[in-house]
Homo-oligomer: A and B are copies of this chain.
Amino acid sequence: MGAVTTADRDRAPKQDRSRATRQRLLEAAVACLAEHGWAGSTVLVVAERAGVSRGAAQHHFPTREDLFTAAVEYVAEERSGALRALFPEGAAQDRREVVSALVDLYTGPLFRAALHLWVAASNEEQLSPRVIELEARVGRETHRIAVDLLGADESRPGVRETVQGLLDMARGLGLANLLTDDRQRRERVVAQWAAVLDGALRD
């Protein structure tokens, strides 16, 4: 219970500033990856976009791989949180709304950024183990949210694979949206498969 020193008083705002810088870098990194792909995304480009010095950026993220995997993870966590917040009561009555919200996870800038990272990792040995681990972690979390929100009982045979297949479909719908605005077709597919899924989970 010592006296509060000047150093103590300075520490909190400094930590806040550091956290804010980190967050700006992560958000700039995802936007950069979504817009310019892996080849056009370097620490320097992201630092400039975030209005942060290169040195400060490298203090937070020593390597390019650190920066971009952290960025995709950060935004994935933000999106997971937002998805849970959409359905505060947990399992929703309307499965179509849940399917639609799950599919939305895969059609925005986060998915574009993640896709660039995956595809780059398939050719870059330095990146690949990091991205595999990240994808497994994000995939598990998304699966858990989907099970909760759909009110799916995974102790019943086939239910786990039903939910997995739905998330695979969402990923495929994201890919179909990469080059063209696929919204109209996607909405019809979501409506139809939400009905099919409803039957499959009720049986």
Residues on A close to B: CB < 8 A?
A: 35-37, 39-40, 112, 115-116, 118-123, 128, 131-132, 135, 158, 161-162, 164-165, 167-176, 178-180, 185, 188-189, 191-193, 195-197, 199-200
Contacts and interface: CB of A to CB of B under 8 A. Distances in A.
B122 A179 contact: yes
Contact of A161 (B162, B168, B192, B200): B192
Contacts of A171: 171-172, 175-176
A162 B192 contact: yes
A173 B168 contact: yes
Given A128-B179, A132-B180, 5 more contacts: A121-B179, A162-B196, A169-B169, A196-B197, A196-B200
B169 A165 contact: yes
